[in-house]
Amino acid sequence: MNHLAAIFGCAGPRLSAQEKAFFREVKPWGFILFARNIQTADQTRALIDDLRAAAGDDNALVFVDQEGGRVQRLKPPLARLRRPAQMFGALYARDPQGAVEAVTLNHQLIAHELRALGFDADCAPCVDLRLPETHAVIGDRAFGHDPSEISALGRAAMDGLLAGGVAPVIKHIPGHGRAMADSHMELPVVETPLGVLEATDFQPFKGLADAPMAMTAHVVFTAVDPDACVTLSHRAIETVVRGFIGFDGLLMSDDLSMHALGGSFEERTRLSIGAGCDVVLHCNGEPGEMHAIAKAAPRLHGRAAERAADARAVARREQSFDPQAAEARLAALGLDGREAA
């Protein structure tokens, strides 16, 4: 199937006739759901089935942001509340082996909960650095400040998700940690020298360069390209993401509706794809914006299509798993899930 190089959201808990017609016409490569789309287990499964049916593709990946902590679209009773990444980083300082075990189990449990509802891709882990200047939009979503520690815990998160049959998306490549602004609201500009970035921010991503998918940062690195954020910068994607980091998986943009980006949605789409993103992401379900993106986005072809196929191939490969034993072990480590806040 010749998919549109896009991942789309939808407006509510059920598809409208207009949304069904639109998805049937454009056939996006994947979908993403948010809290506004999720009410009950049966309703969520039905929505996911309807999305795939509308796109005419039973294998369309359906994404969600399920990191734990502040970024958790599924909550009790559909999924336990999971600890933020920072808490696993704190354990790593005392017990590296225990922290790696805990992150692996935690993410396999997340995957187990997602697969029960029909999801097969998670926009996690966040492997940005946490630094004194890090904006609160990242904050405790980061494992810590040490690149080797973040690589180890990011690897454990990836391994846990994959073991649970869920394809991971590392973010926000090549690093959002030094940003002093929230890219949902405005465009962050980072003026750190390239040598420092290569030794710090870029390193966790370099350590996870074999990830199946990555999401770009809407961040300008003046040492790389002073004129465009990574999402829109061919120079940044070619020299840093594909070059220095060596990432060759599927590269998706961060959400095109974020205020860090300017211009029309057609322009945002063309620039993202032209810069080297394989697919663009649009989250809010706004019909006019999605129609504009669909007009500008290409059909997946060439190397982008191969990367998309490879990303799909790692999903839905669950290993045998005892969730009760995993929860008990997490509790012993002080990092268990909770039924309610």
Q: Rg for the chain (alpha carbons), in Å?
A: 19
What Cα–Cα distance (Å) separates residue 241 from each residue in 245, 255, 269? 5, 18, 19
Q: Are 13 and 45 in contact (CB under 8 A)?
A: no
* CA distance linking residue 85 with residue 211, whole number of Å: 18
Q: Are 165 and 318 in contact (CB under 8 A)?
A: yes
Structural tokens at position 23: 């998805």
Q: Are 275 and 237 in contact (CB under 8 A)?
A: yes
- Residue ranges of the domains in the chain? 4-28+40-47+59-69+82-317
Name the pTM for this structure.
Answer: 0.96
Structural tokens at position 9: 């959201």
User: What pLDDT shows up at residue 58?
Assistant: 94
165 sits in the region (left: phi over 0; alpha: psi -120 to 50; else beta) called left
CB atoms under 10 Å from CB of 93, counted, come to 11
Structural tokens at position 50: 């309807």
User: What pLDDT shows up at residue 341?
Assistant: 56
DSSP code of residue 142? S
Note the helical H segments in 164-301. 194-199, 203-207, 234-236, 265-275, 287-296
3-state SS class at 66: strand
Find the catalytic residue in 57, 122, 225, 254: 254
What is 4-28+40-47+59-69+82-317's CATH number? Answer: 3.20.20.300
302 sits in the region (left: phi over 0; alpha: psi -120 to 50; else beta) called left
In this structure, the chain runs to a length of 341
As to burial, measured by CB atoms within 10 angstroms (0-12 exposed, 13-18 middle, 19+ buried), residue 198 is middle
CB atoms under 10 Å from CB of 299, counted, come to 14
In 3-state terms the chain splits into helix, strand, coil percentages (rounded to 5) of: 45, 15, 40
Q: Are 308 and 278 in contact (CB under 8 A)?
A: yes
pLDDT tens string, the chain, 341 residues long: the values are: 789 999 999 999 999 999 999 999 999 999 999 999 999 999 999 999 999 999 999 999 999 999 999 999 999 999 999 999 999 999 999 999 999 999 999 999 999 999 999 999 999 999 999 988 777 788 899 999 999 999 999 999 999 999 999 999 999 999 998 987 777 778 889 999 999 999 999 999 999 999 999 999 999 999 999 999 999 999 999 999 999 999 999 999 999 999 889 999 999 999 999 999 999 999 999 999 999 999 999 999 999 999 999 999 999 999 999 999 999 999 999 898 877 65
Residue 292 — φ and ψ, nearest 5°? -65, -40
Is position 184 annotated as part of the catalytic site?
A: yes
Is position 254 annotated as part of the catalytic site?
A: yes
* CA distance linking residue 205 with residue 154, whole number of Å: 9
* CA distance linking residue 57 with residue 289, whole number of Å: 23
* CA distance linking residue 248 with residue 153, whole number of Å: 21
Find the catalytic residue in 184, 234, 259, 301: 184
